Amino acid sequence: MRKQGKQSWVYENPIYINATGTAVGPREAKGPLAGTFDKSFENLHCDEGNWELAERKLMETAVQSCIEKGDITKEQVDLFLAGDLLNQNVTSNYLARSLSIPFLCMFGACSTSMETLAVGSALVDGGFANHVVAAVSSHNATAERQFRYPTEYGGQKPKTATSTVTGAGAALISKKKSSIRVEAATIGKVMDYGAKDPFDMGSAMAPAAYDTIKTHLEDMGRLPSDYDLIATGDLSGVGSPIVKDMLKEDGYNVDQMHNDCGLMIYNSDQEVFAGGSGCACSAVVTYGHLIQALEKGKYQRILVVATGALMSPTMVQQKESIPTIAHGVVLMREEGQ
């Protein structure tokens, strides 16, 4: 039985993350997790001619690093699952053009990191692929242009705003045993509690994270205490307390084990408003810091719930509210590795 409960998948075969790759921009490299990334670029342009190329370079670097660390060749990868935040997913599509690995493009806004990991693991579990690379990227400047204003525009942002993480993360998934096992996943429903403010995505996404965490615990018959960490993707300083209080109303207290990747990635004195966001936020924190903490034995089992605001500037201007989604993946430490 791979399907468990309403929305959860438990992989029948042991599925592992053999290697991860991360690349970040200059601001992330000044944060508290600086030492956990494979590569950090000193300038936001990543030595490229424009922002879109910079983002592509980030994803390319992360994927390369992941494949190298996984000790396999590009030709051995059966499937590349990737997504980003830009229109037509240009970063992923254009990188896939040069990789020439069979490719499925995915979009779940900032939840794409766990979406690709969950689906990639399912495909390996089902025997449709032996090696899958799951990758995502986001870039502060491309996201500003896509969703907000030109990067140098002097508009004032409220404190509830988040700051898109510049970076990319990739994971190599296979059945080959390693120290990190992908145990289960919970696929989220699109939730919309009527929040309309694109400068407060933490509030908009909290119900999606709440629903996925709650459903996950019910489906798996588990309690929050079964996890050493429940990490949400990018709820920031605004959404994190909301999701904790929402879960409390259902009798789940996650105060002890909850943290948010958007709060982990930057120091409190970095000017990032309410915290970090973007596909890369959950990806670089999970594929860097969290995986390393699992390897070291600091954690035994964690739940990463990547949250995505499925926002479009056109829809926001047409006064529509912001639909959101969250996908959860359970990672656990495999002993004896």
Closer by beta carbon to other proteins, 38 or else 211 = 211
d(CA 31, CA 276): 11
Q: Residue 289 has what DSSP assignment? A: I
253 makes contact with other proteins (CB under 8 A): no
Closer by beta carbon to other proteins, 195 or else 331 = 195
Query: What token pair was written down for 283?
Result: 């990806």
Q: Collapsing DSSP states into helix, strand and coil, what is residue 19?
A: strand
Q: In this structure, are residues 102 and 79 in contact, taking their beta carbons and an 8 Å threshold?
A: yes
Closer by beta carbon to other proteins, 108 or else 239 = 239
Task: List, in sequence order, every residue forming a beta bridge with 7; answer none if it has no partner.
Answer: none
203 makes contact with other proteins (CB under 8 A): yes
Closer by beta carbon to other proteins, 104 or else 242 = 242
Per CB under 8 A, the list member of 193, 270, 293, 334 interacting with other proteins is: 193
Which residues, numbered 117-176, are part of the site for other proteins (CB under 8 A)? 145, 149-160
d(CA 59, CA 65): 10
d(CA 24, CA 165): 8
Query: What token pair was written down for 69?
Result: 């660390």
Which residues, numbered 29-68, are part of the site for other proteins (CB under 8 A)? 49-52
DSSP annotation string for 81-106: EEE-SSGGGHHHHHHHHHH-S-EEE-
Per CB under 8 A, the list member of 238, 281, 284, 325 interacting with other proteins is: 238
Q: Could you tell me the smallest distance in angstroms from the CB atom of residue 294 to other proteins? A: 31
Q: Could you tell me the smallest distance in angstroms from the CB atom of residue 246 to other proteins? A: 5
Q: Which of 221, 217, 173 is nearest to 13 (CA)?
A: 173
Closer by beta carbon to other proteins, 9 or else 94 = 94
| Chain residues that interact with other proteins, rule: CB under 8 A | 49-52, 145, 149-160, 193-195, 200, 203, 206-207, 210, 237-238, 241-242, 245-246, 249-250, 274
